[in-house]
């Protein structure tokens, strides 16, 4: 199938998981979702990633985000792997891991790249909004663990820029200055939206304190 792109609707599916059968759109409801894939169970990098995701459960929850993992290994393997993750990473995996043994989800989301990993999923990340729209995609090689601080940072940016007419500049972190959209030119609206004022570095580059802080 064609590669999924930003703005596309995330494909719906029903698949087995460590939390029971999941109908994806119904399960996600009105939440943001981070759907991320793993090459295989009982692999070292994946084990650390799933442990980190579990450790960040509070950070995901306060942003209204549901994480969900996927691997092409079967459910019984996942169940045993979760015990290993909890033991080695000193956490409790409290989110579903899809058992995609028939590669249904991997195929829908183009997670198998034969020139990289012949039969397993690469490290894909899809950040999906409450309307089931794909907002961010990231793909890592099998050898490189993902940076979940960056995933949270992207979610913070998406949620902020959805609710205010701003964009986030390079290396932005929550609480930092943001950029007023160039399309916003009406002085009265600018004053109303950004009562703390702004600094015009250039007419097209106007920095203002983060408006929801």
| Residues catalogued as catalytic | 46
Distance CA 94, CA 140 (A): 24
List Cβ neighbours of 126 (8 Å cut-off, separation of 6 or more). 4, 10, 33, 34, 35, 36, 109, 134, 136, 137
Asked if residues 109 and 138 have their Cβ atoms less than 8 Å apart, the reply is no
The residues facing 66 across adjacent strands are: 33
Query: ∠ at Cα 72 (67, 75), nearest 5°?
Result: 80
């Amino acid at each position: 199938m064609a590669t999924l792109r930003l703005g596309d609707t995330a494909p719906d599916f029903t698949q087995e998981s460590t939390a029971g059968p999941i109908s994806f759109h119904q399960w996600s409801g009105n939440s943001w979702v981070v759907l991320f894939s793993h090459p295989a169970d009982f692999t070292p990098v994946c084990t650390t990633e799933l442990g980190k995701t579990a450790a960040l459960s509070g950070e995901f929850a306060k942003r209204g985000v549901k994480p969900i993992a996927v691997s092409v290994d079967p459910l019984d393997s996942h169940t045993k792997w979760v015990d290993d993750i909890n033991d080695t990473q000193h956490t409790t995996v409290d989110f579903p891991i899809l058992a995609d043994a028939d590669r249904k989800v991997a195929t829908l989301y183009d997670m198998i790249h034969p020139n990289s990993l012949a039969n397993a999923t690469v490290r894909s990340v899809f950040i999906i909004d409450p309307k089931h729209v794909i907002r961010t995609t990231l793909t890592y090689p099998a050898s490189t663990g993902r940076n979940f601080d960056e995933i949270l940072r992207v979610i913070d940016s998406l949620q902020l820029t959805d609710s205010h007419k701003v964009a986030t500049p390079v290396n932005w972190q929550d609480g930092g200055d943001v950029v007023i959209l160039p399309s916003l030119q009406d002085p009265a609206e600018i004053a109303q939206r950004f009562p703390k004022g702004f600094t015009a570095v250039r007419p097209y580059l106007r920095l203002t304190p983060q408006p929801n802080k």
